[in-house]
Amino acid sequence: MILPDVNLLVHAHNSDSPVHGPARRWWDGCLAGTEGVGLAWVVMLGFVRITTHPRILLRPLAVGDVLDRIESWLRLPHVHVPHPSDRHFIGLRANLERIGTAGNMTTDAHLATLAQQRGYVLYTTDTDFLRFEGLRRVDPCR
């Protein structure tokens, strides 16, 4: 199962990104495929926050357009919202303590824990995820 990080979704929808082409082809393939895709709440919220922010993107997207895109993804039969397990906090704590920090790594630790406990492969261009032991991670833009 596929668990995308927000950075890949942003790259796929931001034509100014240097990896827009590979990210877009990858995401379009995910949407057209049949393999399960988990869209974590934190990823969806980050996608809305980043793609509509005029200080982050040169050409921010309209809020309605972004929400429509997410809604269309969630309508696909193989796309779902993954939920943390009852032991998520235990795994999150272990991941944060293992890397020795929280701060900006907190959301990454949450996604890593979700992937580890629910059997996902995390797809991301963010090399910070290499810090999480046992996480199956793929960068589809390389």
Q: Looking at residue 33, what is its pLDDT?
A: 98
The residue that leads in pLDDT, 76 or 102, is 76
**Predicted TM-score (pTM) of this structure:** 0.95
Domains in the chain, number: 1
Q: Give the mean pLDDT of 25-37.
A: 99
Q: Looking at residue 110, what is its pLDDT?
A: 98
Q: Give the mean pLDDT of 106-123.
A: 98
Percent of the chain with pLDDT over 70: 100
**Torsion of Cα atoms, 50 then 51 then 56 then 60, to 10°:** -150
Q: Note down the domain range covering 125.
A: 1-142
Q: What is the CATH number of the domain that holds 86?
A: 3.40.50.1010
Q: Give the mean pLDDT of 109-130.
A: 98
